[in-house]
Amino acid sequence: MKNNGIVPANGKLGIMVVGCGAVATTFMTGVLMVRKGLAKPVGSMTQYDKIRVGKGADKKYLHYSDIVPLAKLEDIVFGCWDVYPQNAYQAAMYAEVLSEKDINPVRDELEKIVPLKAAFDKNYAKRLDGENVKDCKTRWDMVEALRADIRNFKQENNCDRVVVIWAASTEIYVPVDEKVHGTLAALEEAMKADDREHIAPSMCYAYASLMESAPFIMGAPNTTVDIPAMWELAEKTKMPISGKDFKTGQTLVKSGFAPIIGTRCLGLSGWFSTNILGNRDGLVLDEPDNFRTKEVSKLSTLETILKAEEQPDLYTDYYHKVRINYYPPRNDNKEGWDNIDIFGWMGYPMQIKINFLCRDSILAAPLLLDLTLLSDLAARAGRYGIQRFLSFFLKSPMHDYTQGEEAVNNLYQQYTMLKNAIREMGGYEADEEID
């Protein structure tokens, strides 16, 4: 590994997760089990993937940790916030994602992870009823309380660094309002004025994290850090931000499969996506205002890959629909159906059907590990603001839409961005082009 001016990953890394539900507990349990040698971190790029560095006679394929200084799993300390007071062991058992035999070996450690009171507003997630909630009179009080939580956690657990990641429910859709979200000063003013319409609780978490020198990752489709005010704060605090929405099942398939259609120059008439799931995420998304947030995130993928302006014969006026249906019997075992109507030579129609019976939290857990480790790396490497190289892990990657920038949603282009960033931080040449 070259010394490329990156601060070493010395000491403990605190990972504070907003939400102690199925995704968070599957993530935490998995890391603790891997540390004991009782499980494998399958699906994690930081633990398994190898990247080529150098060319010709100098070519080598190395794990990320052989190129850049990543925090070790042994150095991670977990904390969380949740509206329900159950500790991580109780929450993991309740979620029923993992079997008891895969939770019990780390029961003692999980029981010690007790959720801090959440900064919560029921108007943003009407289906949730927990009582482990902070008594905050204003949004600014929320910010101050969360900042104190981060400071206390860091001190009590002797952590050198902290990363905050949102793995809680999807909030109702908050449209970007230039008057409130356009500048940091306006955002702070709205928080102090307790503007509950424009300031979601998640924005308080993000603000508090950045002010406490903790990178922030938005794992839901919330507007939270996707606003100029937060970009300004990230620049001011020199902290990385990324989001939004973990790319787990259907959108992973879409971002990988749509390029096949585009590369092969086949036409698209329509793409209908529907999901059934029964976990807490499904319950919250059963509320139309919350689903709207998710729909915006899921719809953005296709339109940036198959573009009418580039191939008008092939991609003009295709129909794209996304549906999510709450179906309790499935719990965390989500099922995604995609019906894709394409056309080929001389306009003759064909169909593709994809049925992905996935496990939502099993796919999400390694994303949390990768996003937190890579955000911590970015902070130590002096990379701040929007971390576009993390787009690979996210459904609706952040980008500066105020400048007309478009998100990169093509999975293979995202992978190139990820590899190039690791190469650069490792002192190697970023030698792959994004065509």
Q: Distance between CA 364 and CA 100 in Å, rounded?
A: 20
Same domain, 187 and 307: no
Q: Does residue 48 belong to any structural domain of this protein? A: yes
Q: Distance between CA 395 and CA 386 in Å, rounded?
A: 15
List, in sequence order, every residue forming a beta bridge with 12; answer none if it has no partner: 159
CATH number at residue 216: 3.40.50.720
Q: Does residue 433 belong to any structural domain of this protein? A: no
Same domain, 370 and 281: no
Q: Does residue 431 belong to any structural domain of this protein? A: no
Same domain, 239 and 298: no
Q: Distance between CA 369 and CA 209 in Å, rounded?
A: 18
Mean pLDDT (the chain) is 94
pLDDT at 434: 87
Chain-centroid distance of CA 141 in Å reads 26
CATH number at residue 351: 3.30.360.10
The three-state secondary structure class of 372 is helix
Same domain, 231 and 318: no
Which tokens go with 204?
Answer: 């308080």
Angle, helices 228-237 vs 201-211, to 10°: value is: 20
Same domain, 102 and 188: yes
**pTM, two decimal places:** 0.94
Q: Does residue 3 belong to any structural domain of this protein? A: no
Last residue of some domain: 311, 330, 357? Answer: 357
Phi, psi of 274 (to 5 degrees): -140, 150
User: Is residue 15 within 8 Å of 163, Cβ to Cβ?
Assistant: yes
Last residue of some domain: 329, 357, 385? Answer: 357
Q: Does residue 413 belong to any structural domain of this protein? A: yes
Same domain, 233 and 95: yes
Same domain, 346 and 390: no
Same domain, 228 and 103: yes
Compute mean pLDDT per 10 residues along the chain, 435 residues long, and list them: 82 98 97 98 98 94 98 98 97 96 98 97 88 96 98 98 96 94 98 97 98 98 96 98 93 94 97 87 73 69 92 95 89 91 98 95 97 98 97 95 92 97 96 88
Amino acid at residue number 399: H
User: Is residue 103 within 8 Å of 93, Cβ to Cβ?
Assistant: yes
pLDDT at 1: 62
Q: Distance between CA 127 and CA 290 in Å, rounded?
A: 10
Same domain, 259 and 209: no
Same domain, 340 and 389: no
pLDDT at 228: 97
Same domain, 241 and 376: yes
Which tokens go with 241?
Answer: 């931000």
Q: Does residue 100 belong to any structural domain of this protein? A: yes
Last residue of some domain: 357, 382, 414? Answer: 357
Same domain, 370 and 344: no
Q: Does residue 269 belong to any structural domain of this protein? A: yes
Q: Does residue 6 belong to any structural domain of this protein? A: no
Number of structural domains in the chain: 2
pLDDT tens readout for residues 209-239: 999 999 999 999 999 999 999 999 999 999 9
Which tokens go with 143?
Answer: 């910010």
pLDDT at 163: 98
User: Is residue 82 within 8 Å of 20, Cβ to Cβ?
Assistant: yes
The domain in which residue 324 lies consists of 250-357
Neighbours of 349 (CB within 10 A): 10
